[in-house]
Structure 1
Amino acid sequence: MRKPLADKIRPRELKDVVGQKHILGEGKILDRILQSGCITNMIFYGPPGIGKTTVANIIAEKGNKKFYKLNATNASLKDIQEIVSSLDTFEGINGILLYLDEIQNFNKKQQQSLLEFIEDGRITLISSTTENPYHYIFKAILSRSTIFEFKPIEKEDMGFALERAVKIISEEEKSINIQLKNEAKDYIINASNGDVRKAINALEISVYSTPPDENYNIVIDLDVARDSTQVKVVSYDMLGDNHYDILSAFQKSIRGSDADASLHYLARLIKAGDLISICRRLLVIASEDIGLAYPNSITIVKSCVDTAMTLGFPEARIPLAQAVILLATSPKSNSVISAIDRALEDLEKKEVGDIPLHIKDAHYSGAKSLSRGIGYKYPHNFKNNYVKQQYLPDNIRERVYYEYGYNKMEQTSREYWNKIKNE
């Protein structure tokens, strides 16, 4: 059985790991930890295929402890109990180093079962996760671990990994000569989106699916690379951290009036097929970030969203793009969300008091005997349909929630009401 190429080229030393220089470079934190030999509890966080497992294996092998490896996807409490039982054996005298891959798949009870042994140092935990550890990992474990964020691999480092893989295959298959064209290498790198494992897998498919020519040359050109990668990998998980990162970048780009960045993140969401999240976020943005600066924006966006939901992909991309460009290029105001949040905050923090009697419901017999509605002034009976009277409860009668935004629409409204109320 042929061993996968990604496993064949897996580095055995930190210096051979591509990327992650911010934590793996000479003199950086993980390098210093390895040199000291004092291995502490660690959590490696980042997208798949960027070296978390490789680095964890390297560090684990350097520890002077009994080494165990579990994948939380298929491990159980029984597996943990078996590991714990070895603490009382001669092999476990120096403690245990447990490498737990995909720790986010362990439930709270499974994570808690490790806590007692992590606390007293009998088990040193090195775990990896593709999800935000602050969302998925038990807080007591977080507080006893150092979190390291792994980042997508840069193009230069990806190229180095592919060249190394070509060299390894060539050394194994001595009868063939592999030629990886630059345009093919660039295509594989771009299609893999920072995931080294996917790039290596694409190269492996390219090599073993391409017959050698009469001179025993296997030429990996652009066409072969395209066939081997098929569709570019887009990093997106409907329930994961990346989902919220993209939506956050999407809204912040629209809020920042950058139409090009807004369209870029829309394209990512479209590529992932996440129509519902796009539509919900656009409707929120129309009120939260544009609001009264352009009140009609929510009407237009609602029409675009309804059209997109009716059409479905791929046509839905067109009305969605229309909504995004409209919102990104519209004047901005957050006066709406600021106003309602101030009002809600008062309900949480203040004793606001009762509704003034004169504006309570008075449409029933006996209301006057309860002083309901007495003294209420009907605004439409007055000039400009306005009369000054108290509406807020006594305790907060002077409270101001809505503040006019600095845009043409709201400033025009402010000038109108200043004129009316001061007459």
Structure 2
Amino acid sequence: MDMFEHSAKEELSKIAPLAARMRPKTFEDFIGQEKVIGSNSILRRNLNNGNVPSMILWGPPGSGKTTLANLISKSSKMALENLSAVTSGVSEIKASIKEAENRLGMNRKRTILFIDEIHRLNKSQQDVVLPYVENGIITLIGATTENPSFEVIAPLLSRSQVFKLNQLDSTNIEELLKKAIMDPDNGLGKNKISLEPKSLNLIAEMSSGDARWAYNVLELCFNSTYTVGQETKIDTETVYQIIQNKQIGYDKKGDHHYDTISAFIKSIRLSDPDAAIYWLARMLDAGEDPMFISRRIIISASEDIGLADPVALTIAVSAQQALHVLGLPEGRIPLAEATIYLAKAPKSNSAYKAINLALSEIQSSGMKPVPLHLRNPVTNLMAKEGYGKGYKNPHESNQPLNLSNMPDGLNTENFYKSDQ
């Protein structure tokens, strides 16, 4: 690093947001993730032995996935290539891999390829990474808020360790905020700040375990109340105002998120294709996870259309599969197609009501014995006990079976009610 780069880096550290300045500098600074990166954890023991496996870091926003990847790179003295699945395509992935190949060939230095939000890469994009993980050209660290079992292709998942980071609790968040207030180098410690305990607790509780969000709120509170030469007092009223302002727009964890998806599903249920498409566009434009939307479309196909048009479920599942293959922005088209189809389709919730009634019955009456004629007589002893007695395969017999297929005492239950 030359003098200019060093100076630029120093200047950037001064103007960076509080959340960036307060990133843990060592593994010991990490809070709330003892199982993943504690001194006796599997990952830590591997790192201490010089082994850096490919891995998927799975955890909620603000739990430290990106920071952990940076610390692993620093401790292992490996180069780090940073990519975001939101803004990177196949060409960017190949360029980073090429850099890793050159680095290994010229300097014998290995490379970590960090892909943030790896769940947003489609299958073909993930396939590009796979052979280079297999041959050791790169060590992959993927960060995701989604279950990797559903979002990462099986071959890549089988070659990676999955480490699940916990959502930080309010005590963890309070500890981080206190450090930020006291730290004179990276935090706000050079200033005289009075933060009421209630205000501290309010930020921690409202953060939902997202340290980055909590830091941002604290910094906004400070900036909005700071006066040169005076003590900065942060009370609950200030915190409430900042939190309210931060939640204007589309908060993926807040009420707006749930209100919008509710408007989308109810527009489908009310057979209003124009409104349904509008709410779909609102979510996509705001950056909502398209896989979340596709899952809700599949649920609607079964819950709201159901047996009135069984093809609706096929359309919904196909839209999700197309989204997997295409990614965004093209993936918006099959989502729109499925949305319009479901909105225009006839509606029936008979399957939804039937399974709920059956579950309610089981919860109230318990697990009653399976009727003997429905049991499979696998052995002679079972046959002697009456297993399968009286059962006739309808494909082989035209005679009606005058036996109830329900447990004793439930003969009159009618869970499925036809819409006809």
TM-score grouping bracket, smaller chain normalisation: 0.5 to 0.7
Q: Matches of 1:287 and 1:218 in 2, distance apart?
A: 60
Q: Work out which of the residue numbers 122, 141, 156 in structure 2 matches 1:126.
A: 141
Q: Which residue of 2 aligns with 1:85?
A: 98
Does 2:159 correspond to 1:144?
Answer: yes
Aligned ranges 1:367-406 → 2 under 5 Å: 392-394=394-396, 403-404=405-406
CA RMSD of aligned residues (A): 4.2
Q: Work out which of the residue numbers 62, 72, 81 in structure 2 matches 1:49.
A: 62
Deviation string 1:112-149 (CA, Å, 9 cap, x unpaired) is: 11111111112111110111111111111001000011
- In structure 2, the gaps of 5 or more residues are 1-11, 259-287, 300-341, 375-391, 415-420
Q: Which residue of 2 aligns with 1:7?
A: 20
> 1:172/1:39 Cα in 2 relative to 1: closer, same or farther (>3 Å)?
closer
Deviation string 1:13-36 (CA, Å, 9 cap, x unpaired) is: 111011112212220122212212
Deviation string 1:28-80 (CA, Å, 9 cap, x unpaired) is: 12221221221010000111111111111100222243321111111122222
Q: Which residue of 2 aligns with 1:63?
A: 76
Instruction: Tell me the TM-score normalised to structure 2 length.
Output: 0.60
Does 2:26 correspond to 1:26?
Answer: no
The percentage of aligned residue pairs carrying the same residue is: 26
**Structure (1 or 2) with the larger CA radius of gyration:** 1
Deviation string 1:215-260 (CA, Å, 9 cap, x unpaired) is: 7111111111111112594497775579989xx9xxxxxxxxxxxx
Q: Secondary structure at the match of 1:209?
A: helix
Deviation string 1:155-196 (CA, Å, 9 cap, x unpaired) is: 211111111111236876676311111101111111111111
Does 2:220 correspond to 1:205?
Answer: yes
The letter of the residue matching 1:76 is G
Q: Which residue of 2 aligns with 1:191?
A: 206
Q: Secondary structure at the match of 2:406?
A: coil
> 1:396/1:333 Cα in 2 relative to 1: closer, same or farther (>3 Å)?
farther
Deviation string 1:248-298 (CA, Å, 9 cap, x unpaired) is: 9xxxxxxxxxxxxxxxxxxxxxxxxxxx9xxx999766421323977xxxx
Q: Matches of 1:55 and 1:218 in 2, distance apart?
A: 32
Contact 1:175/1:216, CA 8 A, preserved across alignment: no
The letter of the residue matching 2:239 is A
Does 2:110 correspond to 1:95?
Answer: yes
The letter of the residue matching 2:181 is V
Q: Which residue of 1 aligns with 2:121?
A: 106
Contact 1:293/1:333, CA 8 A, preserved across alignment: no
> 1:400/1:21 Cα in 2 relative to 1: closer, same or farther (>3 Å)?
farther
Q: Which residue of 2 aligns with 1:226?
A: 240
> 1:136/1:292 Cα in 2 relative to 1: closer, same or farther (>3 Å)?
closer
Q: CA deviation at 1:153?
A: 0.2
The letter of the residue matching 1:7 is A
Q: Matches of 1:65 and 1:9 in 2, distance apart?
A: 23
Q: Matches of 1:331 and 1:402 in 2, distance apart?
A: 20
> 1:402/1:49 Cα in 2 relative to 1: closer, same or farther (>3 Å)?
farther
Q: Which residue of 1 aligns with 2:269?
A: none
Instruction: Tell me the TM-score normalised to structure 1 length.
Output: 0.60
Contact 1:45/1:131, CA 8 A, preserved across alignment: yes
Contact 2:181/2:187, CA 8 A, preserved across alignment: no
Q: Matches of 2:31 and 2:359 in 1, distance apart?
A: 50
My pick for the range that moved more, 160-169 or 125-134, is 160-169
Q: Secondary structure at the match of 2:142?
A: strand
Aligned ranges 1:226-305 → 2 under 5 Å: 226-230=240-244, 231=247, 233-234=253-254, 286-291=353-358
Q: CA deviation at 1:394?
A: 2.3
Q: Matches of 1:283 and 1:192 in 2, distance apart?
A: 40
Q: Matches of 2:403 and 2:106 in 1, distance apart?
A: 67
Contact 1:289/1:334, CA 8 A, preserved across alignment: no
> 1:172/1:108 Cα in 2 relative to 1: closer, same or farther (>3 Å)?
closer
The letter of the residue matching 2:50 is G
Q: Secondary structure at the match of 2:209?
A: coil
The letter of the residue matching 2:191 is I
Q: Which residue of 1 aligns with 2:193?
A: 178
Q: Matches of 1:281 and 1:159 in 2, distance apart?
A: 49
> 1:406/1:58 Cα in 2 relative to 1: closer, same or farther (>3 Å)?
farther
Contact 2:116/2:142, CA 8 A, preserved across alignment: yes
Q: Matches of 1:170 and 1:85 in 2, distance apart?
A: 38
Contact 1:60/1:97, CA 8 A, preserved across alignment: yes
Q: Matches of 1:291 and 1:284 in 2, distance apart?
A: 11
The letter of the residue matching 1:393 is H
What is the count of residue pairs matched by the alignment?
Answer: 297
Q: Secondary structure at the match of 1:99?
A: strand
> 1:398/1:153 Cα in 2 relative to 1: closer, same or farther (>3 Å)?
farther
The letter of the residue matching 1:217 is E
